[in-house]
């Protein structure tokens, strides 16, 4: 399930229902109205409200539901002239979070808090609208994260396994990349002078976050060691390289553009940015040699050289030390994916939670008066399902809901 949060001069999304009834069609078929009298006009149609239902048959759930419907209808009616183009957009992606996962997480979260789980609400349950989407890719009924994330940020369906490029490419064929690059929402925000951010609990070079900034005919080309020699020779760049050099790449694609690069990058995946040399280990590595890069390059050092005022962090202490004045942050909190939320305390050097990263990212991005675009992914819900661990998937979903709530509390939406 993909959860979209639009805020500040934009509507949010959730479920709304309407409660209405109609009177009988002739004098012999009476209908009760608000005064408990008979509507006898055969040409009229009487719309009923919750108040028309006798209180003796109104349950607590009925009254609460009716009040929620009325509040939503009033908010929409009163806010119509206030809702315009969004200043800021946050795209939340719960990877692998289907309807059944949401239901189970909603119940579990309520039970963990000691309340009725079935009637509990997660953050997005309180939005006024909800929607379902079809998630097939251009060449498969069951897609992977690469084409689905690409579709979300470009509006274009593409083939399985490719990122930020159209369906005219051939997976794994570097030469087919050129001329078929798509434009993402993050890139449009950059070109418009807005701030941008990418946050994930997966490797930041993994398919969903990479779709916002990379152009690749193979989602697995996360660093140069993953690429075949012919692709390197043909001029394709690995995904980590494209992230660090995003600013230059975008300006090269749009001559005359002057962008300032992605302000916030936080997630896992340090190994794809570091040389394959134990001298560059980070202190909480899980491998004897943390880095995977076979070209000898240290992309963290390259990022620091390009953005000397930026702050690179790799553990919870570094994250917590980020001051109110932070304007650019590069956080890589694990060699591979970040910990499941249930295991976060086991990390040797500590990791921030998804809700903490979301809140901090908003603080940094909100400095841009023109607004911002940010993608936030809970990437390990899917991994929990793949691993057969319902508890991992559900507790990551609950933390994802906490991240959405953190964003709601950090932002403002139209007030009727």
Active site (catalytic) residues: 145
What count of Cα atoms within 13 Å lies in the side-chain half-sphere of residue 76?
Answer: 15
Name 331's bridge partners: 266, 313
What tokens does 259 get?
């962008």
CA distance 200 to 184: 17
Q: Which of 263, 399, 290 is closest to 349 using CA atoms?
A: 290
What tokens does 181 get?
């690059």
**Running DSSP on this structure, what letter comes out for residue 12?**
-
CA distance 353 to 169: 37
CA distance 275 to 273: 7
Q: What is the DSSP string of 100-167?
A: HHHHHHHHHHHHHTTS-STT---GGGGSS---------SS-SS--HHHHHHHHHHS----TT-BSB-T
- Terminal CA-CA length for the chain: 29
Number of helices and strands in the chain (H, E): 13, 7
For residues 397 and 372, the answer to whether their CB atoms sit within 8 Å is: no
């Amino acid at each position: 399930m993909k959860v979209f949060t639009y805020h500040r001069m934009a509507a949010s999304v959730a479920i709304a229902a309407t409660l209405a009834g109609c009177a009988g069609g002739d004098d012999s078929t009476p209908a009760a109205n608000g005064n408990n009298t008979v509507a006898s006009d055969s040409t009229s149609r009487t719309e009923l409200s919750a108040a028309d239902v006798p209180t003796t048959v109104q349950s607590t759930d009925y009254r609460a539901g009716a009040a929620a419907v009325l509040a939503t209808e009033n908010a929409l009616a009163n806010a119509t002239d206030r809702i315009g183009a969004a200043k800021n957009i946050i795209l939340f992606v719960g990877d692998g979070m289907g309807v059944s996962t949401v239901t189970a997480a909603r119940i579990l979260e309520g039970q963990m808090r000691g309340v009725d789980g079935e009637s509990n609400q997660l953050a997005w349950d309180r939005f006024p609208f909800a929607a379902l989407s079809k998630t097939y890719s251009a060449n498969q009924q069951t897609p992977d994260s690469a084409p689905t994330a690409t579709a979300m940020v470009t509006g274009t369906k593409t083939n399985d396994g490719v990122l930020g490029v159209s369906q005219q490419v051939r997976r794994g064929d570097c030469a087919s990349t050129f001329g078929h690059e798509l434009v993402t929402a993050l890139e449009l925000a950059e070109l418009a002078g807005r701030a941008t951010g990418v946050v994930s609990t997966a490797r930041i070079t993994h398919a969903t976050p990479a779709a916002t900034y990379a152009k690749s005919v193979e989602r697995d080309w996360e660093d140069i060691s993953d690429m075949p020699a012919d692709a390197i020779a043909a001029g394709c760049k690995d995904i980590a390289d494209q992230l660090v050099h995003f600013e230059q790449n975008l300006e090269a694609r749009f001559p005359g553009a002057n962008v300032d690069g992605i302000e916030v990058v936080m997630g896992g995946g340090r190994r794809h940015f570091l040389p394959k040399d134990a001298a560059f280990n980070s202190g909480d590595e899980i491998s004897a040699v943390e880095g995977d890069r076979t070209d000898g390059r240290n992309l963290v050092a390259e990022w620091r050289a390009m953005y000397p005022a930026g702050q690179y962090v790799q553990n919870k202490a570094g994250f917590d030390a980020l001051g109110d004045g932070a304007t650019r942050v590069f956080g890589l909190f694990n060699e591979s994916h970040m910990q499941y939320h249930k295991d976060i305390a086991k990390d040797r050097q500590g990791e921030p939670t998804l809700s903490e990263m979301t809140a901090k990212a908003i603080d940094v991005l909100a400095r841009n008066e023109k607004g911002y675009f940010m993608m936030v992914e809970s990437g390990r819900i899917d991994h929990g399902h793949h691993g057969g661990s319902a508890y991992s998937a559900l507790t990551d979903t609950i933390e994802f809901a906490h991240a959405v709530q953190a964003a709601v509390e950090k932002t403002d939406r139209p007030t009727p």
